[in-house]
Amino acid sequence: MTAPLLQVKNLTIDYIGDSTDFRAVDDVSFDVARGEVFGLAGESGCGKSTIAFAISRLHKPPALIRSGRILLEGRDVLDLNPAQLRDFRWREVAMVFQSAMNSLNPVLRVQEQFYDVLRTHQKMNRAQARERTAEMLRLVDIPPDRMKDYPHQFSGGMRQRIVIAICLALNPKIVVMDEPTTALDVVVQREILQRINELRRTFGFSVLFITHDLGLMVQFCDRIGIMLAGKLVEQNTAENIYGAPQHDYTRKLWASFPSLHGEPVMEKVSI
């Protein structure tokens, strides 16, 4: 039994208000093992994105971590000084945001944006960076000769894959994905997640996957945590979250998805 890669212990995060504080994350604990895909599901405002930001300490005031610990390989992320933090971000924890495809710099060629990351973190020169860029683009099914193009020359799905490639360029130990495919259509979503799934089998990184789409989450994740109003109300394997949900809220979440092949819930009224 090896130690988990990421341990979140009794994490409590408040958003500081003028008179009262809003508790966004309330005493949440979970572990993510090496190579595991852990999912956090819940509605907007339940605190799942706040957790995602806190893991790489990207949360900004008025968010404040009241208590708890975030351990990556036993090291507390909350104790890192600014220099250690710079080194830690991207190299150990990489993040893909919901609007990631819009987070590429529109006035820089794709290869420049790779170079930026590779130079800062691995002191690569241009030739080495180009080689690494080509290798990463090939991994996400983008022809390497397109590295000289600008972001607007790619479709939304391709841009999202480029962001994922940049994230993986430094071989992070864990990738945090906050609704990475919500803005994309289902076919592109499937292609991207399938590829991430293959890559994590090859490279062994872990994924913290955040979405509100439970069906998708069950397909992709090994274990799932369900959040409600800042609390982790249920945590189980994907099979059990789907097959044997314990908490009422999990059942309610399932009931709110019309299923494609099940009986239509609504009575059909003919005219």
Partner 1 sequence: MSDPQTAILALDRVSKSFGTAPYKVNAAQSVSFELHAGRTLALVGESGSGKTTCARLVMREYMPSEGQLLFKGKPVSTDNAKALAAYRRSVQMIFQDPFSSLNPAHTIDYHLRRPLQLHRRDLRGKQIDAAVEELLSRVKLDPKIVARKHPHELSGGQRQRVNIARTLAVGAEVIVADEPTSMLDVSVRLGVLNLLNEMKRDMKLALLYITHDIATARYVAEDIVVMYAGQIVEWGDVNKVIDNPQHPYTRLLLSAVPDPEMRFDDPKAQLKAADVDEVRRLSAVPQDRIVAVEPGHFIRQIASGRAA
For partner 1, the closer of residues 74 and 258 by Cβ is: 258
Residue 123: burial class (beta carbons within 10 Å; 0-12, 13-18, 19+): exposed
For partner 1, the closer of residues 107 and 271 by Cβ is: 271
Nearest-approach distance from CB 66 to partner 1, in angstroms: 26
For partner 1, the closer of residues 131 and 204 by Cβ is: 204
Nearest-approach distance from CB 99 to partner 1, in angstroms: 13
Query: In the numeric block, which tokens belong to residue 97?
Result: 């945001």
CA distance 235 to 39: 9
3 state SS for 210-269? EECCHHHHHHHCCEEEEEECCEEEEEEEHHHHHHCCCCHHHHHHHHCCCCCCCCCCCCCC
Nearest-approach distance from CB 187 to partner 1, in angstroms: 4
For partner 1, the closer of residues 99 and 259 by Cβ is: 259
Write the Ramachandran bin of 219: left for phi over 0, alpha for psi from -120 to 50, otherwise beta.
alpha
CA distance 99 to 102: 5
For partner 1, the closer of residues 22 and 242 by Cβ is: 242
Distance from first CA to last CA of the chain, Å, rounded?
Answer: 63
CA distance 212 to 18: 30
For partner 1, the closer of residues 127 and 260 by Cβ is: 260
- The amino acid that residue 166 corresponds to is I
For partner 1, the closer of residues 21 and 213 by Cβ is: 213
Nearest-approach distance from CB 152 to partner 1, in angstroms: 15
C-beta separation of 147 from 137 below 8 A? yes
C-beta separation of 39 from 223 below 8 A? yes
Binding residues vs partner 1 (CB under 8 A): 43-44, 141, 156, 184-191, 193-194, 197, 212-216, 218-220, 238, 242, 252-253, 256-261, 264-266, 268-269, 271
**Count of residues in the chain:** 271
For partner 1, the closer of residues 117 and 214 by Cβ is: 214
Nearest-approach distance from CB 161 to partner 1, in angstroms: 12
C-beta separation of 115 from 122 below 8 A? no
Nearest-approach distance from CB 26 to partner 1, in angstroms: 19
Nearest-approach distance from CB 199 to partner 1, in angstroms: 12
Nearest-approach distance from CB 158 to partner 1, in angstroms: 12
